[in-house]
Structure 1
Amino acid sequence: MNFIANDREPVYQQIIRYMRQLVVKGILKPGDPVPSRREMAINIKVNPNTVQKAYKEMEDMGIITTVRTHQSTITTDEKIISKIKQDLIHESLGVFIENMKSIEVEKDEIIKIIKDSY
């Protein structure tokens, strides 16, 4: 796993975003098992309690499913996966738009730049 934490936000939220990105990219597919909490903590070098908090949040969000005595898996609910993608798009777009507004870039110029760059 190629997870690198930053100091700007809680690590458990970064783990959630990272996992959401892996799902949207198709690296983690519906029904795929996710690493155990201990495995994840060792792989990304964080406290197991932090991973536990992230997994609990992801369970509450429907991203992962955990059945007693079985390994957690990525949801097979396509609506949830679609929502994850839409949420990531809107989060990234919101940050981008705020950054453009802060340097007073006009909407038409942003659209042109995106068309030229994409």
Structure 2
Amino acid sequence: MQLKFNNRDPVYVQVVRYFKEQMASGMLASGQEIPSRRELANKLKINPNTAQRAYKEMEEAGLIFTEGNLPSKITKDEHKINSIRNELLMDAVDTFVQSVRPINVSVNELVQLVTDKYRKEIGE
């Protein structure tokens, strides 16, 4: 589990985002068990209360569920997982658009640059 924390966002928010990214990419599968709160805190070297807060946020958002004393699991709701993917994509697009707007570049040029870069990154 690799997570590099930044100083801008609260740690629990970064943990939630990490789980969202793992779910959206398929690295965490629907119904898959996740580490206990204490295990997560140990792995990430964070306060157990921070791990608890991240799990509480994810449960309230329907990203994970816990049945009784069993380990928490990733949601089985495919609509929710697709929604997470779309949310992450829109966040990335918003950030990108905000950063390139001052450069005054055409949409066609942007699309070509992004296409070329993406193909290069994935090895096409």
Class of the TM-score when normalised by the shorter of the 2 chains: over 0.9
- Cross-structure match for 1:35: 35
Show CA shifts across 1:15-63 (max 9, x none): 0010011111211101101100000000001101111111111001111
Q: Secondary structure at the match of 1:76?
A: coil
2:85 is matched with 85
Whether 1:74 and 2:74 are equivalent positions in the alignment is: yes
Q: What percentage of aligned pairs have identical amino acids?
A: 40
State yes or no: 1:49 paired with 2:52: no
Q: Name 1:13's counterpart in structure 2.
A: 13
* Corresponding residue for residue 117 of structure 1: 117
Instruction: Number of aligned residue pairs: give it.
Output: 118
> 1:88-103 alignment to 2 at 5 Å?
88-103=88-103
Deviations 1:69-116 (A, max 9, x none): 111000011000110110110111111111111433333321121122
TM-score between the two structures when normalised by the length of structure 1: 0.94
| Structure 1 residues without counterparts, runs of 5 or longer | none
Q: Which runs of 4+ in 1 moved over 6 A?
A: none
Unaligned runs of 5+ in 2: 119-124
TM-score (norm 2): 0.89
Using a 3 Å threshold, how does the CA distance of structure 1 residues 67 and 117 change in structure 2: closer, same or farther?
A: same
